[in-house]
Structure 1
């Protein structure tokens, strides 16, 4: 990617022309060449800022010189800010005449120099008005004003002009004076240049070609009592507009320039989003050749800063907004939430009401004793128009008074839910109305075509389609869309947009290049393991979150080794000090596991995968969570494996618990595994039998004990309600009593005083103690 900036200098040679201006320049040069030598004429070449006036003027000059015409140049902008613009004009022309070499041009140069010095004091000379009169001779008016200000005498100016005219007639060839950049001057200086042209316009054999922005010059020449356009028409004999550039030509030039600055690896031809950006963002905003240069000069720096975290297509779009819609761009930071928040708004109110009312009607009919006793069903429209509760209750009371109480309770409850939904819809619509107001205000900052800005924003930020009027499908985008946008590094994701606007990654975001470096090691489990070892627990959790975005792209052969590595990482980190309670990595891994299992269509393949991964899950609680995740819906699972394989896994887990001797390798929260096993009546009974041994129950108490923070300090705590739910309240009462007796009798080998205190704590729970400050204070 080249870093060299593109110069804003106008082109000079025909082969540099990108917009087919050569033919226009040739035609204009031919018209000037065909003029009779003695004719004097002022030609204006007009166009807006950045449309290529200077380049076109250079092409005209090039064509004139090839036709052997004398072309002199004067750029008033070089003398802007001086008080001697009048004398500078004639001095510059005089110098260029002297450079022509022949004696006759040398004499013209000398005479022009003297004439300019004589006119120099006349900066107050008006272009029109009472001093000149409508049909006054320019030189007569000049002499008149010269007398008033004590300048050159009438005869001196008249004589100098006559001598100059005589010399110019002797030249016997046309002289073209090109004056560019008039519109860059201050208003007063624009008026000075037009005075000069007016004063010298009737000199023989002279043709003036002026280049300027018509609107700017007319504004400078106008005043309270006069029209700038009328002034200009009295000075300029013929006006030509710069040929407009066809959109296809501008698009082609922009496309060619972009190829020089975009990375070679970027394939815009096959990037549909980039094509949409080019069509709907770049082309509407970039309207002149100068716009292209401004844009191409700015883009490489932004690409070098942001391309690792932001999609190249979105960088192209955002940079165009920054350059050409700066007022809109500076307000984007205040609207990140508006532009990126995904919502799931309800269906239209009418459609939702129809569905809910239909469901209510079906319920009423299903509650009736028999088909012969059912009342005629009221129409949906009737239920919508009338107060639904009164109609339903009145019908039920008339036909089936014996069931009125049940109907009343059920109907009231259902209608209450319906009203709650209506309130939710109203709240949503109120928020939507507020968001639409913000969106309208944001668009207004641009000062640009409203429809074009709307297209730009909805293309970059799809969620804003819900803010259009009427909304486009409510702009319904969910977590799946957010993941897709983050994976593709689109500014539609809040993290990506924030980075672009702040050039700083939001807190807790793994840089995209670091993520890709790790992701690319998926096929090499050991390298992946080593790479992930360098991650902090928080960064690892964020990596898992990003990995979910790519779950559909991971090869089938890589899924098993990948899950083995990830479960090993989670197990290792759960014993690290930096893994805080509620660590999100476990839930992220569960979501990723579910997505990856769904990649296999065959239940046999999923069974095989589950068995292989479970063998690498070390902690008992994690093993039970994994079995639940892939197992039956009754235990909160996703039914990813066969029932037979699931039962095998639960039995295997119970065998491990039965052989567990309390070692730390099983991990904390073994109770979680017991809870899931207890959902099965047979396995639950085996759990009770296993923990009827006092020492085994003590191992479970040890593993389950945590600390409870209180105003009075930190106290030991047990998840007693969970234990009662899975093992039984009466079972625990009996077993805790038996364990205390066993300890007192010296029969619980391996137990110490700390264990005795734990058993006493459990006994207090049996008697009603709970973890709150009042109970702590009372014991």
Structure 2
């Protein structure tokens, strides 16, 4: 029947080299036993070296065995690198063009491509695999994360999954900023990077280049190059995988909370040059989201538009009171709302290099600040107060501003008591400045009394050795409250006014506890 065929049957068996050793041997036994049928031709496609190794058995050479079966061999020429490159570019371009607002750093692309991606690609099949893998990733994340980083990590994930697993395992050491001195865990971190290099084997250079161009923070472990917090801020602002939030976003395909809040920070930054729009956007943010949003503006410390600094600073400072105190803070958590905002304003003012210009900006900001608390906070930031001042204005001007503040506040009630967040400190500043000449202020407005007591409240935290439980105890800056009020009787009257308005709140009960003689233990 086979002899009667007008045309031969061609049996194509492809990808033989992808089979296991036993399966490769079975295929060639099958071909050897059936190849002599008339009008039947077998076309076998495989990687010669891999198949020869599989067919080698004991003293029998796999190559000799192969030559007995294969009558005519053809060696496919290697595909020129130029063709592979053109295929990659030709297939990637439509993907990138299809993503609105795609992020693509043309400066970094040649380094990533030639030193990481191209060495991983050996044939047209690899090109197809990379493009198919990258398509979904770029379409999903290309407007959120730098596409050069995405393509680079996709190439590693597809062609060297063992290296990709190491990236997942050691993501912190790849993205964390480390202090140049006093890094007690450096040996541990160095061991993690060494593990990545060892796991990569012959592709260790790929890992080195991956660290150099995608995760530069880890270069301290490969070539002793150190990157600091400025670079971390740049990485976040530029949506690079070198920042842990974006790396997590890529690995998990769901934006972490830190990244979600940074998107709000980005939007706020774009509105900074329009004071009205900036204020409106900040006011539209939920109070519990304000802290992270404002904190995220630190990433732009080298990009703040100079002309926007006076108005933007006033907008942020005037909203300190809107930021709620974090509940269940840890023992070492010192970030208060005023510190969060103060860090951003400080960086804004430092953008102004000339001291005279900076002093003029401070003069512009002060009249725009609505609360006494915020005015005093700015004076502390720019002045010479030990432990707080950053000496951003001249000493004479700092002294003049402080005196102007005392003259403005002495004997006055806050025009916005509900916005005061450090009122006890404000009045204590007057006490210190006036000394024996101080005239106590009469507190009768419930909003002012509430702000006054709240700003004098603190929480001490203690943890017993061997216990995971952190105990908290509320305190009041009692001696200062008494002196500011003019005596304990006057303070007691203010507490009674607040009780009539607010009822039995924790703040009222704490004040009454002090009035009853209680004082915190000093153990």
Q: TM-score range by the shorter chain?
A: 0.7 to 0.9
- Pairing 1:535–2:285 present: yes
Deviation of 1:565 after TM superposition, in Å, equals 2.2
Matched with 1:311 is: 146
Matched with 1:226 is: 60
Tell me which of the two structures has the higher relative contact order, counting C-alpha pairs closer than 8 angstroms and 6 or more residues apart: 1
Aligned-pair RMSD on alpha carbons?
4.3
Matched with 2:367 is: 615
Deviation of 1:674 after TM superposition, in Å, equals 4.5
- In structure 2, the CA distance between the partners of 1:278 and 1:630, relative to structure 1 (3 Å rule), is same
Q: Secondary structure at the match of 2:339?
A: helix
Matched with 2:349 is: 597
Matched with 1:560 is: 310
- In structure 2, the CA distance between the partners of 1:513 and 1:267, relative to structure 1 (3 Å rule), is closer
Q: Deviations over 1:544-566 (max 9, x none)?
A: 22211113223222222322222
Report the Cα distance in structure 2 between the residues aligned to 1:331 and 1:480, rounded to whole angstroms.
Answer: 26
Matched with 1:28 is: none
Deviation of 1:752 after TM superposition, in Å, equals 6.2
Matched with 1:34 is: none
Q: Secondary structure at the match of 1:272?
A: coil
Q: Deviations over 1:207-263 (max 9, x none)?
A: 987543213433454434522210222344564432223334323332232212224
Matched with 2:477 is: 719
Q: Secondary structure at the match of 2:392?
A: coil
- In structure 2, the CA distance between the partners of 1:242 and 1:700, relative to structure 1 (3 Å rule), is same
- In structure 2, the CA distance between the partners of 1:291 and 1:688, relative to structure 1 (3 Å rule), is farther
Which one of the candidate residues 341, 349, 355 is aligned to 2:176? 341
Report the Cα distance in structure 2 between the residues aligned to 1:603 and 1:632, rounded to whole angstroms.
Answer: 15
Report the Cα distance in structure 1 between the residues aligned to 2:510 and 2:288, rounded to whole angstroms.
Answer: 34
Report the Cα distance in structure 2 between the residues aligned to 1:552 and 1:467, rounded to whole angstroms.
Answer: 27
Report the Cα distance in structure 2 between the residues aligned to 1:754 and 1:538, rounded to whole angstroms.
Answer: 28
- In structure 2, the CA distance between the partners of 1:275 and 1:660, relative to structure 1 (3 Å rule), is farther
Matched with 1:690 is: 438
Q: Computing the radius of gyration over CA atoms, which structure comes out larger, 1 or 2?
A: 1
- 5+ long unaligned stretches in structure 1: 1-86, 99-108, 113-176, 347-423, 679-683, 725-730, 775-779
- In structure 2, the CA distance between the partners of 1:343 and 1:181, relative to structure 1 (3 Å rule), is same
Report the Cα distance in structure 1 between the residues aligned to 2:457 and 2:265, rounded to whole angstroms.
Answer: 37
- In structure 2, the CA distance between the partners of 1:193 and 1:585, relative to structure 1 (3 Å rule), is farther
Q: Deviations over 1:562-615 (max 9, x none)?
A: 2222223323x05x6889986644223212112211222333322222122222
- Pairing 1:294–2:117 present: no
Q: Is the 2:54–2:62 contact (alpha carbons within 8 Å) kept by the matching residues of 1?
A: yes
Report the Cα distance in structure 1 between the residues aligned to 2:238 and 2:146, rounded to whole angstroms.
Answer: 7
- In structure 2, the CA distance between the partners of 1:451 and 1:556, relative to structure 1 (3 Å rule), is same
Report the Cα distance in structure 1 between the residues aligned to 2:441 and 2:262, rounded to whole angstroms.
Answer: 53
Q: Is the 1:338–1:464 contact (alpha carbons within 8 Å) kept by the matching residues of 2?
A: yes
Matched with 1:652 is: 404
Q: Secondary structure at the match of 2:273?
A: coil
Matched with 2:519 is: 770
Which one of the candidate residues 299, 313, 331 is aligned to 1:549? 299
- 5+ long unaligned stretches in structure 2: 462-470, 501-507
Deviation of 1:294 after TM superposition, in Å, equals 0.3
Matched with 2:503 is: none
- In structure 2, the CA distance between the partners of 1:733 and 1:458, relative to structure 1 (3 Å rule), is closer
- In structure 2, the CA distance between the partners of 1:500 and 1:714, relative to structure 1 (3 Å rule), is closer
- Pairing 1:212–2:15 present: no
Which one of the candidate residues 391, 403, 423 is aligned to 1:670? 423
- In structure 2, the CA distance between the partners of 1:696 and 1:245, relative to structure 1 (3 Å rule), is same
Report the Cα distance in structure 1 between the residues aligned to 2:180 and 2:498, rounded to whole angstroms.
Answer: 59
Q: Is the 2:11–2:43 contact (alpha carbons within 8 Å) kept by the matching residues of 1?
A: yes
Q: Is the 1:344–1:477 contact (alpha carbons within 8 Å) kept by the matching residues of 2?
A: no
Give the alignment of 1:59-458 within 5 angstroms.
Answer: 97-98=6-7, 179=12, 181=14, 183=16, 186-187=23-24, 188-197=26-35, 211-219=45-53, 221-236=55-70, 239-263=73-97, 266=102, 268=104, 271-346=106-181, 428=184, 431-458=185-212
Q: Is the 1:310–1:490 contact (alpha carbons within 8 Å) kept by the matching residues of 2?
A: yes
Deviation of 1:702 after TM superposition, in Å, equals 7.8
Give the TM-score normalised by the residue count of structure 2: 0.79
Report the Cα distance in structure 2 between the residues aligned to 1:521 and 1:753, rounded to whole angstroms.
Answer: 40
Q: Is the 1:333–1:498 contact (alpha carbons within 8 Å) kept by the matching residues of 2?
A: no
- In structure 2, the CA distance between the partners of 1:759 and 1:213, relative to structure 1 (3 Å rule), is closer
Count of residues in correspondence between the two structures: 492
Give the TM-score normalised by the residue count of structure 1: 0.55
Deviation of 1:494 after TM superposition, in Å, equals 1.6
